[in-house]
């Protein structure tokens, strides 16, 4: 089991606005270790089961995409924000951009659905390219007085910049 650098310290000053940043090993086995750690964090945040499961699926899909298709290093940022009667979990995976093709084609029956899954679950998502890095992000919104709001994101395809840049990011 890979456990290197899985202990991220939260950034943020209040439980209403918390961020965890993880530097990830660039190996397929890293995803399962990160999922366990993320599950603990989401439980600490007291999120509904469906929000937790959907967030874990988004984390898995974005991380697997980075490990299979991009250059290391890879960083995962997980954040929670709450305001009035709603909240959002934000998942952002940053890598060093696309890896050179290996010559072996991936089986389309086994691969290629990850970003579609992210799009189906996220309220908002996008891609941001900056300074030699690529970040793919997704936000899962939820109501604090009910378990979860219905998703309905329209997310850009890979290598397309989002018109709805996340806070702190500039559109190119």
Report domain extents, the chain: 11-97+110-143
Token pair, residue 132, equals: 């030699």
- Give percent of the chain with pLDDT exceeding 90: 49
How far, in Å, are 90, 115, 130 from residue 159 at the CA level? Answer: 20, 12, 12
pLDDT-derived band at 112 (thresholds 50, 70, 90) equals: low
Per-residue pLDDT reduced to its tens digit, 20-47: 999 998 887 889 999 999 999 999 999 9
> Is it the case that residue 131 has pLDDT exceeding 80?
yes
> Is it the case that residue 133 has pLDDT exceeding 80?
yes
The stretch 111-115 carries a mean pLDDT of 66
- Give percent of the chain with pLDDT exceeding 70: 66
CATH code for the part of the protein at 11-97+110-143: 3.30.565.10
How far, in Å, are 10, 11, 22, 147 from residue 14 at the CA level? Answer: 10, 9, 19, 22
User: Residues 67, 59: contact at Cβ < 8 Å?
Assistant: no
pLDDT given for residue 144 in this prediction: 80
Q: What is the pTM of this model?
A: 0.72
pLDDT-derived band at 73 (thresholds 50, 70, 90) equals: very high
> Is it the case that residue 108 has pLDDT exceeding 90?
no
pLDDT given for residue 98 in this prediction: 85
Instruction: Find the DSSP H helices in 45-165.
Output: 49-69, 114-121
In 3D space, the residue among 16, 2, 59, 3 whose CA is nearest the CA of residue 35 turns out to be 59
Per-residue pLDDT reduced to its tens digit, 90-99: 999 999 988 7
Token pair, residue 64, equals: 């697997």
The stretch 118-125 carries a mean pLDDT of 93
């Amino acid at each position: 089991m890979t456990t290197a650098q899985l202990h991220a310290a939260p950034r943020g000053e209040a439980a209403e606005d918390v961020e965890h940043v993880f530097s990830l090993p660039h190996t397929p086995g890293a995803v399962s270790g990160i999922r366990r750690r993320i599950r603990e964090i989401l439980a600490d945040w007291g999120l509904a089961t469906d929000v937790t499961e959907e967030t874990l699926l988004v984390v898995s899909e974005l991380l697997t995409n980075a490990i299979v298709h991009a250059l290391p290093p890879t960083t995962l940022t997980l954040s929670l924000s709450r305001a009035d009667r709603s909240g959002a979990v934000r998942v952002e995976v940053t890598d060093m951009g696309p890896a050179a093709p290996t010559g072996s084609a991936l089986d389309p029956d086994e691969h290629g659905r990850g970003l579609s899954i992210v799009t189906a679950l996220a309220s908002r998502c996008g891609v941001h390219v900056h300074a030699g890095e690529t970040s793919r992000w997704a936000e899962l919104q939820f109501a604090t007085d009910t378990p979860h709001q219905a998703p309905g994101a329209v997310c850009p395809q890979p290598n397309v910049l989002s018109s709805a840049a996340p806070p702190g990011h500039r559109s190119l």
